[in-house]
Amino acid sequence: MAPRPNLSDIARAIGVSSATVSNALSGKGRVSAQLSRQIAEKARELGYVPSLAGRALSTGRSHVLGLVLADIGHPLFPQFAQAIEQAATKAGYGVLIGDSRGDVKTQTAAIDQLIERGADGIILVPRHGTRIAEINCPVAVIDTPSTPGNTVSADHWQGGRLIGAHLRNLGHTHLAIIGLHQDSNVQADRIGGIRTGFGREGSVRTLWIDALEADAGPGCELGLAELVREGYTAFAAVSDIHALRAVSELQRSGLSVPAHVTVTGFDDLHWARSISPALTTVRMNMETIARLAVADLLLQIEPDRTTPPEDETAPPQAVPMELIVRSSSASPHGNLIPSQDNNNNSDPDTLPSREGTNNA
Amino acid sequence: MAPRPNLSDIARAIGVSSATVSNALSGKGRVSAQLSRQIAEKARELGYVPSLAGRALSTGRSHVLGLVLADIGHPLFPQFAQAIEQAATKAGYGVLIGDSRGDVKTQTAAIDQLIERGADGIILVPRHGTRIAEINCPVAVIDTPSTPGNTVSADHWQGGRLIGAHLRNLGHTHLAIIGLHQDSNVQADRIGGIRTGFGREGSVRTLWIDALEADAGPGCELGLAELVREGYTAFAAVSDIHALRAVSELQRSGLSVPAHVTVTGFDDLHWARSISPALTTVRMNMETIARLAVADLLLQIEPDRTTPPEDETAPPQAVPMELIVRSSSASPHGNLIPSQDNNNNSDPDTLPSREGTNNA
DNA sequence: CTGAAAGCGCTTACAG
DNA sequence: CTGAAAGCGCTTACAG
């Protein structure tokens, strides 16, 4: 590993000042085209790689963003990380990760650490029930529109409405919603949306998994078969994970999905399409969310950044979710709806985008 | 956002040199205890946060590690990221992420970018079939022991043996292995291990999903029911994802798991315990792998780092995997084995560790 | 169009 | 025990 060449090495090799090399390489256009070319050439020849530490020190910008999540272990993390990484890279930023491991104190520590490392801004996906401490650094919060301080996020309530309406349209009248925590804003919005979309006719009730588990231990039965006996034909989980658990439990009880009951999820996790029956669910447009979050941060970091005039209005806080109808949902009368898996390719970029791109 | 105070601000406020402040704060012990205390006090008072950019520039160490994965979207990524983040944080390093999106060229670009950003070392989880280009920077590769250049990884072969032996011990004689790519070293090792563990009696065959999908399109039937008719009672997938798919397909065909057939997975993904039947699988000790990878990197980065003498031997390249027996596996004669979910708590730190800790 | 100089915030020999 | 000085690699007014 030879010591990396620096600006002065190039300057010396050509016989110009390092200021000129810097100007040439950064393309500010104050250097004659010919010299510029010569410098670029020599830089390539020497294998010059600019040192970001030097640049960061002189400009006061690290061009690094911090990504802090409540729980890196969450299965949705890949979608977040991938989208944020992509949006940040496109904007010329790197992504430093922090894990709050569900703990508010750890979350604060993680944030402090990222600031110390020079992050120019922080994207925070907070844990449910967390109050965001004051942060001496630009922050973009991805939570849910109803959370104060939320910057941008999926419209979980609208996603819930899609699910609720879908189930109602199939003809269900008895709906059981499966949630995990009562103190999650995201889940509260999803559930509120589901109830709204489903309407007031019939019967709707909500099961809280953590309450059940507090009594009966982890992995316990949710008692879904009993609900089916009471007439419930539709089960809407606030996460694909819980939907999977519901499907499992129902099938174990000898009930068939979707012949006897319908199950829906939330989030369109990686495997949702490959189980059988494939899971009807709703999915965030992570690409858009990430792009808006990064754009918001850049606006805070570089106030002089030119914003396209049509974006003068506040950016949309709530990015619509998309319903993905798969075979786990059917009418309660047994007639399967056509299985229109409109998400049959694995390339997220080809997902239909629901809004104008607010590109930075 | 007031401008952050720096060393000189502290020095000026107290009336000493910034060299002294630096020495005091870094605890090198060249400053009188009293002055040290005074400086620390003032630093706290001013809310001083050291600038890593400055330190990085003068020391030539960024204290940042780059994590490059073949596919950030992979459901195993959370386990990797969490473990690496934790190990790095413990060693005083931050983690910058890079996504190669499955593409070798992108992978190289991602690595270059991380180097440019000053990463002191890189942890690389390469895509199957990738030859690692020369990297002008310390690298630790996490792949599989049989891959040349591998630094540390789970012992996928041994994990396979656990699965194979488990199935054999249950009394199965006809085993179908379900793989995805033929060019994945990891999968090759897993499959080799499964075959070895299962032994040479009876019949073993391997199904390649991507080959099937090349013919019949994504999400197609794997034809498992047909195999059952031919006498196959055990299905070992090289990933929980495929196991899930297998379970789904078998159940759809009216076959019951584990009453009629046994299915096993690999990796113990997040949901493996919550489906029904809960999935018998094998899991990496990510914490150990991450710790060893980081330790290896630190050894390259800081050659003078004092290593405990008992670690003088090369660190174990292959970290044993652990079999997690759940209800998806049973003897072919229908007698369920006791469902000993030895992974019933959600705290990964309490997983039994199979080896001495080689802490850095 | 090009260069000399100062500075970003820290650390590190080297003197005192 | 403490400080003056130089330097890490870059950028940025400011002169020429």
For the segment A226-265, what is each residue's pLDDT rounded down to a tens digit? 999 999 999 999 999 999 999 988 987 888 888 999 999 9
Nearest to B318 by CA among B201, B146, B154, B184: B154
Cβ under 8 Å to A: B residues 26-55:
49-54
- One-letter amino acid at A148 equals P
* Distance in angstroms (rounded) separating the CA atoms of residues A188 and A67: 24
* Candidate from B74, B118, B251 with C-beta closest to A251: B251
Residues of A in contact with B51 (CB under 8 A): 57, 118
> What was the pLDDT predicted at B351?
33
* Distance in angstroms (rounded) separating the CA atoms of residues B201 and B212: 27
By percentage, how much of chain A surpasses pLDDT 70? 85
* Candidate from B219, B273, B348 with C-beta closest to A219: B273
For nucleotide C11, the protein residue with its alpha carbon nearest to C1' is: B58
CA B72 vs CA A80, B12, B284: distances in Å:
10, 47, 18
Nearest residue of chain A to residue B57 (CA atoms): A53
Nearest residue of chain A to residue B56 (CA atoms): A53
Q: What is the pLDDT confidence band of residue B123, given thresholds at 50, 70 and 90?
A: very high
For nucleotide D13, the protein residue with its alpha carbon nearest to C1' is: A19
Buried-state track B170-180, b at ≥16 Cβ within 10 A, e below 16: bebbbbbbbbb
* A7: CB within 7 A of chain D nucleic strand: yes
3-state SS assignment for residue A45: helix
Q: For residues A107-127, give the mean pLDDT.
A: 88
- One-letter amino acid at A186 equals V
Query: A198 to chain B nearest CA, in Å?
Result: 27
Nearest residue of chain B to residue A250 (CA atoms): B276
* Distance in angstroms (rounded) separating the CA atoms of residues A78 and A98: 14
DSSP class of residue A72 equals: T
* Candidate from B94, B219, B241 with C-beta closest to A117: B94
Query: Nearest nucleotide, C1' to the C-alpha of A30?
Result: C1
Query: Nearest nucleotide, C1' to the C-alpha of A19?
Result: C3
Q: Do A78 and B57 touch (CB under 8 A)?
A: no
What does R_g of chain A's alpha carbons equal in angstroms? Answer: 25
- Say if residues A63 and A56 touch (Cβ distance below 8 Å): yes
- Say if residues A242 and A312 touch (Cβ distance below 8 Å): no
* Distance in angstroms (rounded) separating the CA atoms of residues B135 and A326: 45
Nearest residue of chain B to residue A112 (CA atoms): B49
In chain B, what is the greatest distance between 2 CA atoms, to the nearest angstrom?
87
DSSP characters over B98-162: EE-TT-HHHHHHHHHHHHHTT-SEEEEEPPTTPPPPP-SS-EEE-S-TTSTT--SEE-HHHHHHH
For the segment B49-106, what is each residue's pLDDT rounded down to a tens digit? 888 888 988 988 999 999 998 877 778 888 888 999 999 999 999 999 988 777 788 8
Residues of A in contact with B92 (CB under 8 A): none
3-state SS assignment for residue A302: coil
- One-letter amino acid at A272 equals A
- Say if residues A280 and A246 touch (Cβ distance below 8 Å): no
> What was the pLDDT predicted at A339?
42
Q: Chain A contact for B102, CB < 8 A?
A: no
Q: Chain B contact for A344, CB < 8 A?
A: yes
By percentage, how much of chain B surpasses pLDDT 90? 45
> What was the pLDDT predicted at B266?
97
- Say if residues B67 and B84 touch (Cβ distance below 8 Å): yes
Those residues with Cβ within 8 angstroms of residue A4's Cβ, 6 or more apart along the chain or in another chain: A47, A48, A49, A51, B136
Q: Where are the alpha helices (DSSP H) in A47-91?
A: 52-59, 77-90
> Domains of chain A (ranges plus CATH)?
7-50 (1.10.260), 64-141+288-317 (3.40.50.2300), 156-283+321-350 (3.40.50.2300)
Q: Do A57 and B52 touch (CB under 8 A)?
A: no
For the segment A281-335, what is each residue's pLDDT rounded down to a tens digit? 999 999 999 999 999 999 888 765 555 444 444 556 899 999 999 989 999 875 5
For the segment A24-41, what is each residue's pLDDT rounded down to a tens digit? 888 776 678 888 888 888
Buried-state track B236-268, b at ≥16 Cβ within 10 A, e below 16: bbbbbbbbbbbbbbbbbbeeebbebbbbbbbbb
Long-range contacts of B85-92 (CB under 8 A, 24+ apart): B85/A72, B85/A97, B85/A98, B85/A99, B86/A99, B86/B287, B86/B290, B87/B287, B87/B290, B87/B291, B87/B293, B87/B294, B88/B294, B89/A113, B91/B294, B91/B295, B91/B298, B91/B360, B92/B63
Q: Chain B contact for A304, CB < 8 A?
A: no
In chain A, what is the greatest distance between 2 CA atoms, to the nearest angstrom?
87
DSSP characters over B146-215: TSTT--SEE-HHHHHHHHHHHHHHHT--EEEEEES-TT-HHHHHHHHHHHHHH-SSSEEEEEEHHHHHHH
CB contacts < 8 A (A, B): 168
Q: Do B77 and A81 touch (CB under 8 A)?
A: yes
Buried-state track A207-227, b at ≥16 Cβ within 10 A, e below 16: bbbeebeeeeeeeeebebbeb
B354 phi and psi angles, rounded to 5 deg: -95, 0
Q: Do B81 and A64 touch (CB under 8 A)?
A: no
Q: How many CB atoms lie within 10 A of CB B8?
A: 11
Task: Examine the pLDDT at A336 and tell me if it is beyond 60.
Answer: no
- Say if residues B287 and B349 touch (Cβ distance below 8 Å): yes
For the segment B209-252, what is each residue's pLDDT rounded down to a tens digit? 999 989 988 778 899 999 999 999 999 999 999 999 999 889 87
* A53: CB within 7 A of chain D nucleic strand: yes
Nearest to B84 by CA among A93, A92, A96: A96
Q: Chain A contact for B173, CB < 8 A?
A: no
Query: B52 to chain A nearest CA, in Å?
Result: 5
For the segment B129-149, what is each residue's pLDDT rounded down to a tens digit? 666 666 778 999 999 999 888
- Say if residues B83 and B53 touch (Cβ distance below 8 Å): no
- One-letter amino acid at B33 equals A
Nearest to A343 by CA among A234, A250, A269: A269
Residues of A in contact with B50 (CB under 8 A): 116
Q: How many CB atoms lie within 10 A of CB A3?
A: 7
Q: Do B74 and A78 touch (CB under 8 A)?
A: yes
> What was the pLDDT predicted at A38?
85
Nucleotides of C under 7 A from a protein CB: 1-5, 7-13
Better pLDDT: B184 or B164: B164
DSSP class of residue A313 equals: S
> What was the pLDDT predicted at B348?
35
- Say if residues A279 and B312 touch (Cβ distance below 8 Å): no
* Candidate from B77, B117, B278 with C-beta closest to A94: B117
- Say if residues A273 and A209 touch (Cβ distance below 8 Å): no
Residue A188 CA, distance from chain mean position: 18
B283 phi and psi angles, rounded to 5 deg: -130, 145
**β-strands B121-125, B139-141 pairing:** parallel
- Say if residues B40 and B25 touch (Cβ distance below 8 Å): yes
> What was the pLDDT predicted at B336?
47
- Residues across chain B: 360
Residues of A in contact with B118 (CB under 8 A): 51-53
Those residues with Cβ within 8 angstroms of residue A152's Cβ, 6 or more apart along the chain or in another chain: A140, A142, A289, A292, A293, A296, A315, A316, A317, A318, A319
Q: To 5 degrees, how large is the angle CA A324–CA A329–CA A330? A: 130
β-bridge partners, B205: B176
Q: What is the pLDDT confidence band of residue A88, given thresholds at 50, 70 and 90?
A: very high
3-state SS assignment for residue A141: strand
β-bridge partners, A203: A174
* Candidate from B52, B74, B344 with C-beta closest to A118: B52
For nucleotide C7, the protein residue with its alpha carbon nearest to C1' is: A58
What's the mean pLDDT when you consider all of chain B?
84
- Say if residues B156 and B197 touch (Cβ distance below 8 Å): no
> What was the pLDDT predicted at A350?
33
